[in-house]
Structure 1
Amino acid sequence: MGKIGSGLRLVAVLVTVVALSACAVRYRDHGYVPRDEDLARITVGESTREDVARAVGRPSTTGLLTGGAWYYVGSRFRLYGPREPEEIDRQVVAISFDDRGVVENVERFGLEDGKVVALSRRVTDSNIKGVGILRQLLGNLGNVSAAQLVNE
């Protein structure tokens, strides 16, 4: 019985060590945000897109509006055991350009400045709000022309 008891103790210790190591906090970084020293090499009103690309690199995200902007986004997540990852830090550097491609503004935003923005929505706007199904069906009765009937 001594061998079985010591074997069970060893298994119990191993299970405890594995369970405790699974609960260790881990951190994961995503994205890239230029350092302040690199951003200092950019001069508002003088630097061009190519100057910015040389100083801090090209971004993964750009704006679509006139002149556009370059966005550098970096996030830090805390992972703890089986829990959902928690974003603990986010930095966004936005460099906007005028129509000539010259730097117009350089801004840095943190997680505390952020708002939830829906980047994609699968909602179709409909003009039939408040119209019942019977009215929709009866409303189409007069919309069929003779040309449509002949072509069918």
Structure 2
Amino acid sequence: MRSIHRTAKMAVAGLALIALGACTSQYLQHGYVPSEEELQQIIPGIDTRASVEDVIGVPTSSGVLRDSGYYYIETQIRHFAWKRPEVVEREVLAITFDEAGVVENLITYGLEDGQVVPLTRRVTKSGDGDIGFIRKLFGNIGGLNVGQLFEE
């Protein structure tokens, strides 16, 4: 009886340890920002797009307006138990270029520099409602007037 009681206590303690272990935070790292040593190799006014790619690699993203810049983005996300994942750290390296494709500036932004931009989904509804294909196809049959067909 005593060994069963002891085994039950050990099982409960083991389950409690497993439950507590499941509640630890897990961190995921996404993206890439070059190290400070790599960034020291880039010289504004001298390096070009091609030399930047050779030194630190292809960017995570680039500017859409006239290829204005390269953006290297690294994000750390914390997952904790039942809670929604939370971004705890974000670093964005922006490398801007002039019209000739020569490096103008290197700027680093952190999470504290950003603004949360709410994304809204706007859906434009059509005037047809929920009319099916067959109903659209044959919808005007009842609107025909035989007298209109034979008028001259």
Q: Report the TM-score when normalising by structure 2.
A: 0.73
Asked if structure 2 preserves the Cα contact closer than 8 Å seen for 1:25 and 1:79, the reply is yes
CA 1:12–1:124: 2 relative to 1, 3 Å: closer
Corresponding residue for residue 9 of structure 1: 9
CA 1:85–1:50: 2 relative to 1, 3 Å: same
- Residue type matched to 2:69 in 1? A
How does 1:10-29 map onto structure 2 within 5 Å?
10-29=10-29
Asked if structure 2 preserves the Cα contact closer than 8 Å seen for 1:71 and 1:94, the reply is yes
Give the distance between the partners of 2:3 and 2:120, measured in 1 at CA: 63
Residue 34 of structure 2 is aligned to residue 34 of structure 1: yes
Partner secondary structure for residue 18 of structure 2? helix
Shifted more, 56-65 versus 76-85: the winner is: 76-85
How does 1:1-150 map onto structure 2 within 5 Å?
1-118=1-118, 121-124=120-123
Give 5+ residue unaligned stretches, structure 2.
Answer: 126-148
CA 1:32–1:83: 2 relative to 1, 3 Å: same
Q: Report the TM-score when normalising by structure 1.
A: 0.73
Give aligned-pair identity as a percent: 37
Give the distance between the partners of 2:96 and 2:124, measured in 1 at CA: 32
Give the distance between the partners of 1:26 and 1:59, measured in 2 at CA: 27
Q: Give the C-alpha shift of residue 82 in structure 1.
A: 2.4
Give the distance between the partners of 2:37 and 2:89, measured in 1 at CA: 20
Asked if structure 2 preserves the Cα contact closer than 8 Å seen for 1:67 and 1:98, the reply is no
Q: Deviations over 1:55-91 (max 9, x none)?
A: 1111121111114211100011223222222222110
Q: How many residue pairs were aligned?
A: 126
Give the distance between the partners of 1:30 and 1:2, measured in 2 at CA: 52
Asked if structure 2 preserves the Cα contact closer than 8 Å seen for 1:63 and 1:70, the reply is yes
CA 1:124–1:19: 2 relative to 1, 3 Å: closer
CA 1:121–1:98: 2 relative to 1, 3 Å: farther
Partner secondary structure for residue 106 of structure 2? strand
Q: Give the C-alpha shift of residue 52 in structure 1.
A: 0.3
Larger radius of gyration: 2
